[in-house]
Amino acid sequence: MLKGRHLIDPMDFTLEEIQEILVLSEEIILNPNDYSDICKGKILANLFYEPSTRTRFSFEAAMLRLGGQVIGFSEAISSSVSKGESIADTIRTVGCYADISAIRHPKEGSSKIASQYSSIPVINAGDGGHQHPTQTLTDLLTIKSIKGNLDNNVIGICGDLKFGRTVHSLIKSMSRYKNNKFVLISPKKLSIPDYISKEVLKKNNIEYLEIEKMDDVIKDLDILYMTRVQKERFFNEDEYLKLKDSYILNKEKMNKAKEDMIVMHPLPRVNEISYEVDEDPRACYFEQAKYGMYARMALIAKLLGVN
Ligand code: NCD
């Protein structure tokens, strides 16, 4: 039963519950009109303390397309947070006005704290460099729809694996399906944190390789998940400048990849995928952004118990 639950970490839901959300997403894609007013009279509060385009707009669009309404803020400065209000008090207040809330915050663990004080379901829309479980629902729906299978994939993840919260949530989730292997491509300074490599990959005996060069492995991949170097998480600008162009996926590299490899990216892209790759039928990052709206429609409907 997903009604009334929070989604803070991808492991909060069982594989069966995730499957329920994916199945509903697919049904909504096929028959959007059947779902266009199931959230009539319901309100989503979007509390975004950090910049966002896709996540915030896709949550908004999702609620509007379900017939509900949206309130919220897109920068903390315009709310009472700028007067020093805690997230615990903000969410208790928001619970008086809204039925469900999506929270993005620069501090790791903030949506978890909010959920502990909340009378309404809280969805983690990204907490610092930690987790981003709704991006992962988006990614799972994309992989299932385009590759057809969440099992048996060789998944290359490239870029900022240290601070990239989408990566942490994706690895946690894809590790639960059968026979997936990971190729983790990053500069040493941006390698995957221990809590993912030890607690998730090693603990579950998942096959993985950590490597610095993409050229050596691109031919083996079924999925290539590119990420941006997370500028806002660096303490030192020089360090960022040194690492920011570590990887640039271009046509030449794509020529070495499998015919049916797909390229994903949570977006925003900075420099890590050249525009020439956009024309390649294997590039599916904008489709992925669209799947994000459907995954969030299904998630909202399930947490509100309207479906
Ligand atoms: C990601 C995020 O915010 O973590 N964006 C998104 O939600 N689609 C990735 C990023 O900002 O690099």
User: Binding site residues for carbamoyl phosphate, as ranges?
Assistant: 54-55, 104, 132, 135, 267-268
Residue pLDDT, tens place only, 269-304: 999 999 999 999 999 999 999 999 999 999 999 999
Helices 133-146 and 15-30: angle between axes, nearest 10 degrees: 60
For the CA of 50, the closest atom of ligand 1 is 3
What is the domain partition of the chain in residue ranges?
10-131+290-304, 133-289
Shared fold status for 10-131+290-304 and 133-289: yes
CB-based burial, 226-237: b 16+ in 10 Å, e otherwise: bbbbbeeebeee
- CATH code of the domain occupying 133-289: 3.40.50.1370
The domain covering 10-131+290-304 belongs, at the CATH homologous superfamily level, to Aspartate/ornithine carbamoyltransferase (3.40.50.1370)
Q: What count of other Cβ atoms lies within 10 Å of the Cβ of residue 66?
A: 25
DSSP notation for 159-202: S-TTT-HHHHHHHHHHTTSTT-EEEEE--GGGPPPHHHIIIIII
Check pocket membership of 265 for ligand 1, CB cut-off 6 A: no
Check pocket membership of 269 for ligand 1, CB cut-off 6 A: no
pTM (two decimals): 0.97
Residue pLDDT, tens place only, 103-150: 999 999 999 999 999 999 999 999 999 999 999 999 999 999 999 999
| Spatial contact of 258 and 233, defined as CB atoms under 8 Å apart | no
Q: Which of 111, 132, 293 has most ligand 1 atoms within 8 Å of its beta carbon, as the pocket-test mutant?
A: 132
Q: Which residue has the tokens 């009378």?
A: 119
**Residue closest to 177 by CA, chosen among 55, 22, 1:** 22
User: Binding site residues, as ranges?
Assistant: 54-55, 83, 104, 132, 135, 165, 228, 267-268
CA of 71 to the centre of ligand 1 (A): 21
- CA–CA dist 102, 186 (Å, integer): 30
Residue 91 pLDDT > 90 = yes
